[in-house]
Amino acid sequence: MREIVFDTETTGLDVMTGDRVVEIGCVELINHLPTENNFHVYINPERDMPEEAFRVHGLSEEFLSDKPKFAQIAKDFHEFIKDTVLIAHNASFDIKFLNWELEKAGFPIIDKELVIDTLAMARQRFPAGPNNLDVLCSRFGIDNSKRTLHGALLDSEILADVYLELIGGRQTSFMLSSEQQNEADNAAGGTGARQPARTRPTPLPARLTEAEVEAHLTFLKEVKGDVIWAQYMPQPEAADQTES
């Protein structure tokens, strides 16, 4: 399954008053794993850069003056995202700008049915908010220390980690692809059968003290009904018989 996490930077907040896209960053995911097949481009907006926008992303009119115009990168961008699920934070903002630029350049606009908004996902999971990217990084323990300014590619890379947490956690990245599983099977003898887990030759020593075990057993006796924890706790009688 192919997905693209993306972000844009613009000259302002309203495409209808002449604001334009100045940067696009896309991170490709295959089965929720980053592939390093990214798309990143700076764009000449063919207009000035308002001070408010410059303070957000640090892209000056001078820096962008020799960069390609959107019409020059539209084909490559369209080919990269075509028929692919797109993921963005506050996606309606980015899609509004990109669709305006694509239509102006003569390319099909993005189908909103293919768009996933991580802001909407975060609001459903954390209704009390806030749910901006920095806060979500803090909640999920994601390093965003390099994010001193907004940048489309860096924000997309960070958002990819946030997205994986929102759909169930980054442990997804530890799952083997079918190709990787076949390689592992071949290395194990080519049978395709899952190899049994090896047992530890010497069991790890218990970290609980005798006093902690006794205190927990006393607590369990006070709990009404069947307690599943009791199945995993050593019983004093059994311990006495072993020692005798």
If we measure between CA atoms, which residue out of 57, 10, 30 comes closest to residue 164? Answer: 30
The pTM of this model reads 0.69
Q: Are residues 36 and 113 in the same domain?
A: yes
Residue 51 has pLDDT above 60, yes or no: yes
Residue ranges of the alpha helices (H) in the chain?
51-57, 61-64, 70-81, 91-104, 118-125, 133-140, 152-166, 178-187, 210-222, 236-243
The per-residue pLDDT for 240 is 45
The per-residue pLDDT for 189 is 45
Give me the residue label for tokens 């009791």: 230
Residue 193 has pLDDT above 50, yes or no: no
Percentage of residues in the chain having pLDDT higher than 70: 74
If we measure between CA atoms, which residue out of 28, 158, 6, 160 comes closest to residue 97? Answer: 6
Residue 141: which domain range? 2-178
> Which of 117-121, 204-208, 219-223 comes out lowest in average pLDDT?
204-208
Neighbours of 164 (CB within 10 A): 21
Rounded to the nearest integer, the mean pLDDT of the chain is 83
In a domain, 172, yes or no: yes
Please state the domain count of the chain.
2
The per-residue pLDDT for 212 is 76
If we measure between CA atoms, which residue out of 108, 113, 145, 117 comes closest to residue 7? Answer: 117
Q: For 133-150, what is the mean pLDDT?
A: 86
Residue 199 has pLDDT above 80, yes or no: no
Residue 13 has pLDDT above 70, yes or no: yes
For residue 37, which amino acid is it?
A: N
Q: Which of 129, 162, 178 is the last residue of a domain?
A: 178
Contacts of 216 (CB under 8 A, 6+ apart): 208, 229, 233
Q: Are residues 123 and 15 in the same domain?
A: yes
Q: For 154-178, what is the mean pLDDT?
A: 77
- Annotation says 89 is catalytic: no
Active-site annotation holder among 32, 57, 89, 150: 150
If you average pLDDT over each of 77-86, 167-176, 204-213, 229-238, which comes out highest?
77-86
Q: Are residues 134 and 231 in the same domain?
A: no
**When comparing pLDDT for 113 and 210, which is higher?**
113
The 8-class DSSP code of residue 148 comes to S
